[in-house]
Structure 1
Amino acid sequence: MKKHIGILGVALILTATQAFAQHGPVMSLKECINYSLTNNPSGSVYGNQVGIAQQQNREGLAGYLPQVNLTGSLDDNLKRQVTIIPAGTFGPEPTKVQFGNQYASTVTGQLDQVIYDQTLINALKASKMNVELAELKLEKNEDDIIYNTASAYYQVLIYREQLKLVLENERKMEQLVAVQKLQFDIGVLQESSYKRVLVNYNNVKAQYDLTQMNLEMALTNLKHAMGMSADDPLDIADSIDFEKDVPMPSNEKAAITQKADYRILQQNILLQEIDLKRKRAQYLPTLAGYARYGANAFGNEFQNTFNQWYDYSAIGLKITVPVFSGFRRDSQVRQGELTLENTKLNLSINARLYEVQLQNSQVQLSAGFVNLKSSKENLDLANEVFEMTSLQYEKGTVGLSDFLNADYAKKEAQSNYINSLLNYLMANINIEQSKGTIKEFVNKL
């Protein structure tokens, strides 16, 4: 009987394992992260933002490059203007004269070149720094993708580990129920004792269903983090290796200066400083040069208008000196000064927040490591006690209550172990996120 029950339990484990494998690709944590970085749509959004910033930089550079324009016109003077020549010029009476021709055509080409414009120079610097800011935001998004993928992956890993424990509990309880049922049928076991064991067995089955559901939802969340369709099959390759996956936390001193959020705030300060310089430069004169070449053609008959062209050319300089703008420039400068001050204050406020987060994550990792080691040792002890009590119960040296108490203690130890394992794994990536070294964490996988 026990042999058949054992075979049934193994079959149940294999069936459950196949159920959550979904016959899909088996991916490690590193493979899932690499897939996320390639396929998560937010990566494309931030990549496009970098492209936009680069094109804005090109647009800003165009202001300091030569500007060439061609214009042409053709006038049909339907009614030419009359000019009065005073009396005595050509005769005793005033003379009415219409100057010009019926048709007039003009073609002009002009080149304009900015020689000096400090506002434009500062705008060019800001455009380059804006590209760097977009690249930093892309880097931060990649860090977020890695963090979200790793978090979802660990959740799947934890539920898989929990499912293994629940399946083992179900196998052992199923064996006990079969024995208790046989004893009850032959009249050597009270009905209340049999039903107590049956209640425990039903609770384990309910826990299995709940864990299986949680595992499926965790897999769906992982697919979402990776940019994968919820209908695509997926399974993870890793399982918990306690000695390998739970190293002693490092005591090395960490800083927040590598964190992408911190560097974005620093870049914003540099941008605001450049913008303030640009606004102050509006008080300075600007100098530009130009060269113009054109030609005119005239005629009283349309077909003869373009027979003879008269060309002309000119070069020159244009200087513009700002005098008074109705306090507009002064207001813009003051706004820039206040914005810069706020940006610096935001950096100071957030830097303290990032330092607190880093210190808390270090405390959580150290405490999580100690708690996990303790939970693992307690789980091993609870398993040992359960096996001893189970053997004693089979021999009749302890009662059912002792057996059920040992079973409850084992399940409690399993629950504590699962929770402490998840807390430790999350603390591990939290500290990498707080330090801004989460990509280095991936490279070590």
Structure 2
Amino acid sequence: MKRILTLLLLLAAALQGYSQTQPAPQTYSFTVQEAVDYAITHKDSVVNAGLDVKSADYRVKEIIGQGFPQIDGTASFQDYLKIPTTLLPGEFFGAPAGTFIPVKFGVKYQSNLGVNASQLLFDPSYIIGLQGRKTYKELYSRAYTSTKIDVTARVTKAYYQVVVSNEQIKLLDANIAQLKQQVDQTTAQNKQGIVEKIDVDRIAVQYNNLVTSRENTLRLLALNYQLLKFQIGMPIEDNLTLKDGLDNIKIDENIIETVADTASYKNRIEYKFFETNLKLSEFDLKRIKAQFLPTLKANAAYTFSYQNNSFKDLYSASFPSSYIGLTLNVPIFSGGQRTNRVRQSEIALQKGKNNLMGMRNGLNLQAEQSKIIYQNSLQSLNNQKRNQELAREVLRVSKIKYQQGVGSSIEVTQAQTALEAADNLYIQSLYDALVSRVDLDRAFGKIQ
């Protein structure tokens, strides 16, 4: 028993120590733009895209370094357990012709220390690589921008989802409050014998359903907050509240008239990314063609040789040697490999041009679709607003008629159900309008 108690105390102490090392949850309150700004600096996909830009910069420096002098140090050591034997003609030593005398040349221990250097003097592939380094860096820079745009759109949509869910909670609270009042009134009237018990039950069923709907919506709201924190790269355990509500979010009905024309594809980062890829394909074709040209390189070396039959005296004397020279490499025949590589690169370049044309048409179509979808969503939102107001008015009149004895409880229940349906359609239309506005801005290159 004492052992168990001791183990529990140790475990409790360990857990307490672990909890103390964990950072305390932070609390944040963001507008839409602040949420986007937080995501740009914390979302893993954006951070990694920024690291890719840095990596591309180092890759360019690596390519540039190929044109600098290349210097290597070398060192070698050999212990000849058996010195190689060479056969020399016997007549050199007065022996009969056709005989050979075994002779050993060399010493047991040999060592070499040297420095080799080379300098690229002319290489067309290297020159073309230098010409394309700016385009190469531009490719990753645009990939970084594309990632930021994608994250901005997703964060904005997630933010709007929370805003709309909050609005839905408000509508449910208002409906629950007025329905609770109606339940209390009907219950009191039933006790007085004015209305039947079935009227109380009908309203109670609606009230219970509405309360359950609110509880479900609250759980979904908590999940939407978690999704928003995930989209901006915030730890799930941190607390987040929103500064912006529907009053701060403008749904501009005139935005269609101010967006760009059908040439909006030029503002899209996707199109610019394809353009950069096409430029790189052109440089690649030039690089492969340059492989038909000769290359020239300067070489130099300085070596210290050490030889001795005694290991301890191996480095007592050196025999230096050095040279300088040029190496010219002239491509003559490669079995058609270079020619076929050129043809493959030309095909890849043509495919890139075709893809660019397809991208332009696709982006223009996307822009037109986004305009139509946004217009339709605005029309649906306005229609649902009117329906919501009408449903609320129908419910008001139905309740008055019921109280005056010229209406039925079924009529009130149906009007309440119609109002709840109108509220749900309004919430859905509101979210659709907000999301389609984000898609519209993205389709016309307004998100950067």
For residues 419 and 229 of structure 2, the distance between their equivalents in structure 1, rounded to whole angstroms, comes to 33
Comparing 339-348 with 265-274, greater Cα deviation is found at 339-348
In structure 2, give the amino acid aligned to 1:330: T
Deviation digits for residues 223-251 of structure 1 (CA, Å, limit 9, x no counterpart)? 22122333433232222128x62222321
Counterpart residue identity of residue 292, structure 2? Y
Structure-to-structure mapping, 1:94-109, within 5 angstroms: 96=101, 98-109=104-115
| CA separation of 1:23 and 1:135: change in aligned 2, threshold 3 A | closer
Identity fraction in percent: 27
SS class of match (1:189): coil
- Residue 82 of structure 1, CA deviation: 3.2
Q: What are the superposed Cα offsets for residues 88-112 of structure 1, whole Å, 9 maximum, x if unpaired?
A: x675767955544454443321210
In 2: Cα distance, 1:278 partner to 1:57 partner: 16
Q: Are 2:183 and 1:177 aligned?
A: yes
Residue of structure 2 equivalent to 1:256:
265
Once residues 117 and 206 of structure 1 are traced to their aligned partners in structure 2, the CA distance between those partners, rounded to angstroms, is 75
The partner residue of 1:38 within 38, 41, 44 is 41
Instruction: Determine which of 335, 338, 344 is the counterpart of 1:326.
Output: 335
Secondary structure at 2:291 match in 1 = helix
Q: 3-state SS of the aligned residue for 2:239?
A: coil
Q: 1:313-392 maps to which residues of 2 (within 5 A)?
A: 313-392=322-401
Change (3 A) 1:409 1:51: same
Looking at structure 2, the residues matched to 92 and 25 of structure 1 have their Cα atoms a distance apart, in angstroms, of 101
TM-score, scaled relative to structure 2? 0.84
Structure 1: runs of 5 or more not aligned: 1-21, 440-445
* 1:429–1:342 distance in 2 versus 1, CA, 3 Å: same
Contact 2:26–2:238 (CA under 8 A) maintained in structure 1: no
- Out of 294, 310, 315, the position equivalent to 2:303 is 294
Q: Does 1:281 align with 2:286?
A: no
In structure 2, relative to structure 1, the CA distance for the partners of 1:148 and 1:92 (3 Å cut) is: closer
- Conserved in 1, the CA contact under 8 Å of 2:70 and 2:117? yes
Q: Is the contact between residue 152 and residue 225 of structure 1 (CA under 8 Å) also seen in structure 2?
A: yes
How far does the alpha carbon of each residue in 1:340-374 deviate from its partner, in whole angstroms, 9 at most, with x for none? 22222222222222211111111122232233233
User: After superposition, what is the alpha-carbon deviation per residue over 1:245-286, rounded to whole angstroms, capped at 9, x for unaligned?
Assistant: 222232132402222222221111111111121111111111
Q: 1:159 to 1:75 in 2, by over 3 A?
A: closer
What secondary structure is seen at the aligned counterpart in 1 of 2:150? helix
Gaps of 5+ in 2: 1-24
Q: 1:61 aligns with which of 55, 61, 64?
A: 64
Q: What corresponds to 2:251 in structure 1? A: 246
Q: 2:32 aligns with which of 29, 32, 46?
A: 29
402-411 or 188-197: bigger deviation: 402-411
Residue 82 (1) aligns with residue 82 (2): no
**Given the alignment, which residue of 303, 309, 326 partners 2:318?**
309
Determine whether 1:50 maps to 2:56.
no
Contact 1:36/1:225 (8 A) holds in 2: yes
Checking the alignment, whether the CA contact within 8 Å between 2:124 and 2:287 is kept in structure 1 is yes
- Structure 1: how far apart are the matches of 2:361 and 2:313? 81
1:159 to 154, 159, 165: 165
Q: What amino acid maps onto 2:440 in structure 1?
A: I
Residue 217 of structure 2: aligned partner: 211
> 1:163·1:211 contact (CA, 8 Å) conserved in 2?
yes
Structure 1 residues 196 and 82, CA gap change in structure 2 (3 angstroms): closer
Alpha-carbon distance between aligned partners in 2 of 1:178 and 1:102, rounded to the nearest angstrom: 112
- 1:93 to 1:307, Cα distance in 2 relative to 1, 3 A: farther
Alignment partners' CA distance in 2, 1:321 and 1:310: 35
1:248 alignment partner AA: E
Distance 1:101 1:416, change over 3 A: closer
TM-score, normalization: structure 1?
0.84
